[in-house]
């Protein structure tokens, strides 16, 4: 089976057939205790805290290239690997890893649809054995695509060809729940709570593509526009980024500082 054929959203049955392939690296971003209890055979564990950086009060930033180079080298990742990521929460942490790979130009990656819940529900094999891969020399450089800054977002406000998607809860979006110095949302942003893309009745898989496209189109999020996703720390909105990518949206980006930066700044407008 040709690993180049792995879809962006890969089903458990499909991944199981490919587990013996040396060109695939499965990365587990579950809680450590869940990984220890049982994980996809061969999966390497990453702690979510290793793939984000903080400058309080701003959270969810991108670690610098040297930090990511050290991290990815330590787990044995190479540019040739096709990464399949999963977690135990519906894909948020896994998608943040995949978005990070996107912005460093590592485009061979997939999300395990439904994560460990779907894997277990289908009685796929589990192991508690920890596989250590030989260290590699992964050199990280950032590309120009996939991430935008506060200034870019501010300069995008009011432009008809750009839509901001706020992936937080409606209460956060409306300013009823405040997690930063200021409450509310970026002016003009539309609200699409990231959990609305997850099918709670199908082991946390993504909802069908047609259903997702319809829900997004209803709030003005269409593939002809440039779409910028954000939440509080670009954790939930990283999931939204991967959802949009899976639907074929050609111009998408994540705002890593998200509301923890915007809402704690004194020079940004709030709605």
Nearest-angstrom CA–CA distance, 240 and 104: 19
Q: Assign 192 to helix, strand or coil.
A: coil
Check if the beta carbon of residue 254 is closer than 8 Å to that of residue 230: yes
List of residues 6+ apart from 59 with CB closer than 8 A: 52, 232, 233, 260
**Which alpha helices (H) appear in 126-191, and where do they start and end?**
150-156, 170-174
Nearest-angstrom CA–CA distance, 222 and 163: 9
Q: Assign 110 to helix, strand or coil.
A: strand
Active site residue 231: yes
Check if the beta carbon of residue 6 is closer than 8 Å to that of residue 81: no
Check if the beta carbon of residue 185 is closer than 8 Å to that of residue 163: no
Of the residues 30, 140, 231, 243, which is catalytic? 231
Check if the beta carbon of residue 243 is closer than 8 Å to that of residue 209: no
> Is the backbone of residue 204 left (phi > 0), alpha (psi -120 to 50) or beta?
left
Q: Which of 176, 143, 173, 175 is nearest to 237 (CA)?
A: 173
Question: Terminal CA-to-CA distance of the chain, rounded, Å?
Answer: 51
Check if the beta carbon of residue 224 is closer than 8 Å to that of residue 247: no
The catalytic residue positions are: 231
């Amino acid at each position: 089976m040709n690993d180049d054929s792995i879809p962006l959203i890969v089903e458990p049955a499909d991944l199981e057939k490919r587990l013996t392939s040396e060109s695939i690296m499965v990365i587990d971003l579950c809680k450590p205790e869940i990984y220890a209890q049982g994980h996809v055979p061969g999966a390497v564990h990453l702690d979510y805290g290793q793939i984000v950086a903080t400058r309080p009060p701003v959270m969810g930033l991108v670690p610098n290239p040297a930090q990511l180079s050290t991290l990815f080298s330590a787990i044995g990742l190479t540019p040739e690997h096709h990464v399949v990521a999963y977690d135990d929460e519906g894909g948020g942490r896994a998608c943040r890893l995949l978005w990070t790979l996107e912005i460093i130009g590592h485009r061979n990656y997939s999300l395990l649809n439904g994560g460990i819940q779907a894997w277990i529900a289908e009685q796929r094999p589990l192991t508690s054995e920890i596989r250590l891969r030989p260290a590699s020399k992964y050199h990280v450089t950032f590309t120009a695509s996939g991430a935008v800054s506060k200034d870019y977002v501010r300069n995008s406000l009011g432009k008809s060809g750009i839509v901001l998607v706020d992936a937080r809860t409606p209460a956060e979006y409306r300013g009823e729940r405040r997690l930063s110095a200021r409450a509310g949302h970026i002016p003009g942003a539309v609200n699409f709570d990231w959990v609305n893309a997850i099918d709670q009745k199908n082991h946390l898989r993504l909802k069908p593509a047609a259903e997702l496209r319809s829900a997004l189109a209803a709030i003005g999020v269409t593939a002809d526009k440039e779409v910028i996703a954000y939440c509080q720390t670009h954790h939930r909105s990283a999931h939204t980024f991967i959802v949009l990518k899976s639907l074929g949206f050609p111009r998408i980006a994540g705002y890593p500082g998200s509301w923890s930066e915007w809402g704690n700044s004194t020079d940004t407008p709030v709605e």
